[in-house]
């Protein structure tokens, strides 16, 4: 099975969804959004980027996410 990481920003609706048993069993790691730049994505095959993230933090992480995708990682991004 692919190792899936999801960015978690502290949003309560994200928390409920991520921890729903039918989804949580597939997720290997929750990466707290402010810690993303210091977190290695090497162990993961898939990175889920939920909607409603802080735009400035997201723009700051743009290159890290692009590098992950360029190295063969799958990025699943939701929402505007």
Residue 56: half-sphere exposure toward Cβ, Cα within 13 Å: 1
DSSP 25: T
pLDDT of residue 1: 84
pLDDT of residue 51: 92
Model's pTM, two decimal places? 0.91
H or E stretch at 29? strand 29-32
* pLDDT tens-digit series, residues 56-73: 999 999 999 999 999 999
Report CA torsion sign: 61, 62, 63, 66: positive
Q: Residue 49 burial (CB < 10 Å; 0-12/13-18/19+)?
A: middle
Q: Return d(Cα 46, Cα 75) in angstroms, integer.
A: 6
pLDDT of residue 79: 80
């Amino acid at each position: 099975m692919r190792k899936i990481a999801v960015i978690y920003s502290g949003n309560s609706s994200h928390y409920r969804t991520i921890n729903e048993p039918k989804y949580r069993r597939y997720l290997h790691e929750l990466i707290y959004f402010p810690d993303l730049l210091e977190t290695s994505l090497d162990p993961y095959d898939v990175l889920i980027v939920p909607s409603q993230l802080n735009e400035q933090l997201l723009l700051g992480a743009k290159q890290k996410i692009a590098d992950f995708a360029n190295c063969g990682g799958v990025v699943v991004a939701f929402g505007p």
